[in-house]
Amino acid sequence: MLKIKDICAYLEKIAPLPLQESYDNAGLIVGNPREEVKGVLCTLDSTEEVVDEAIENGCNLIVAHHPIVFSGLKKLSGNSYIERTIIKAIKNDVAIYAIHTNLDNVHNGVNAKICEKLGLDNLRILSSGKEALLKLAVFVPQTHVDELLQALGNAGAGKIGDYQNCSFSTTGEGRFQPMDSANPFIGKAGGEIEKVKEEKIEVILPVTKKGKVLQAMYQAHPYEEVAFDIYRLENGNPETGSGMLGNLKNEMQPLDFLRHLKESMELATIKHTALPQKNIKKVAVCGGSGSFLLTKAMSAKADIFITSDYKYHQFFDADGKIVIADIGHFESEKYTRELLVDILTPKFKELTIIESKVNTNPINYF
């Protein structure tokens, strides 16, 4: 019997919660994780109408991109759409799960979906995630080096770009003296100081795999007490971070590209800066509010930066060096509903998993 927590765990494997931004509130917001899941409704926003849609379709779990609650609620009296939505969900045993900036910050997330719609290839993260990598240094007797390295690799350590099982070792001499209460692998309790040929193994790992890697280390290591260090790196993780960069298969004239963008993303309008004389080839994207990535897009020599929520004076920052195209917040993320269905359906084929048909865009165009 599938439970809500099983869906949550799978989503967090795809987009781990530690990858969310500090201001975010991703995760299970409403509902009992131990309840059986009967159906899943995928949406961009949680609203009363979306909860009604879930009930009508027999879905007791809503997976939304945006969290219905960003900060603490002091009352649930129905005075706002947030309170009314939560009350309705609780009354009808509908759970609400949010997968927000953590889904933005993975290489196969929201921005990859935008790139797919635009037909871009050679995709890479625009701004690699900082403090997303750790380094583990562990000391092990030479007799168990290969066994430990295999265990660490299987747990997700030692992957750098397109290479796996990456490590570095230095050989030295370890010293220790087992106390009377010890159960040593080498030597005997209450014995003399032991000298052992050991290797110091160093591997990189994502912060999201820390628990799994440490568990594997303890299980594979022969010592009763494992000597190790683990610390954060300043290196960017090329598989996580903000925005995405890609190339058009064939470069396009600026106006032709805007037509392509409008058609591919089904847009009513595009706000943009002055168009250049040169063709568009390299494209930077960021679903949602992405103005903070403009300098990264410019440094990457992107011809156009597609995002949303630009303010009037921020458009001047393009400075004739790049085209800024603001397509609207909802419009930039609306295909996240489709993305979530694509993520969940192959794994949970026995479940009803549907894409919401409710248009939750609060902005209308005249």
Instruction: Please tell me the predicted confidence (pLDDT) of residue 160.
Output: 86
| pLDDT value of position 244 | 98
Taking Cα atoms as reference points, which of 204, 309, 325 lies closest to residue 275? 325
pLDDT digit string (tens) for 58-107?
Answer: 999 999 999 999 888 888 899 999 999 999 999 999 999 999 999 999 99
Q: What is the pLDDT of residue 161?
A: 78
Cα–Cα distance, 165 to 62 (Å, whole number): 38
Strands 194-206 and 168-176: antiparallel
pLDDT above 70 covers a percentage of the chain that reads: 99
Say what the pLDDT of residue 130 is: 64
Question: What pLDDT score was predicted for residue 131?
Answer: 63
In single-letter form, the type of residue at position 60 comes to N
Token representation of residue 90: 């609780």
* Cross-strand partners of 305: 284, 324
Please report the pLDDT score of residue 179 as a whole number.
92
DSSP calls for 184-251? -SSS-TT-PPEEEEEEEEEEEEEGGGHHHHHHHHHHH---SS--EEEEE--S-EEEEEEEEEEEEEEE
> What is the pLDDT, as a whole number, of residue 112?
97
Pure H helices in the chain:
4-14, 48-56, 81-91, 101-104, 110-118, 145-154, 210-220, 254-264, 294-299, 329-333, 336-344
* 120 contacts: CB under 8 Å, gap ≥ 6: 246, 247, 248, 283
User: What domains are there in the chain, each with its CATH number?
Assistant: 4-104+335-355 (3.40.1390.30), 110-127+241-327 (3.40.1390.30), 133-235 (3.30.70.120)
User: What average pLDDT does the chain have?
Assistant: 95
CB 50 within 8 A of CB 89: no
Give the pLDDT score at 235.
Answer: 84
Amino acid type, 39: G
* Distance, C-alpha 119 to centroid of its chain: 22
Low-confidence ranges of the chain (pLDDT < 70): 130-131
Nearest to 49 by CA among 26, 74, 68: 68
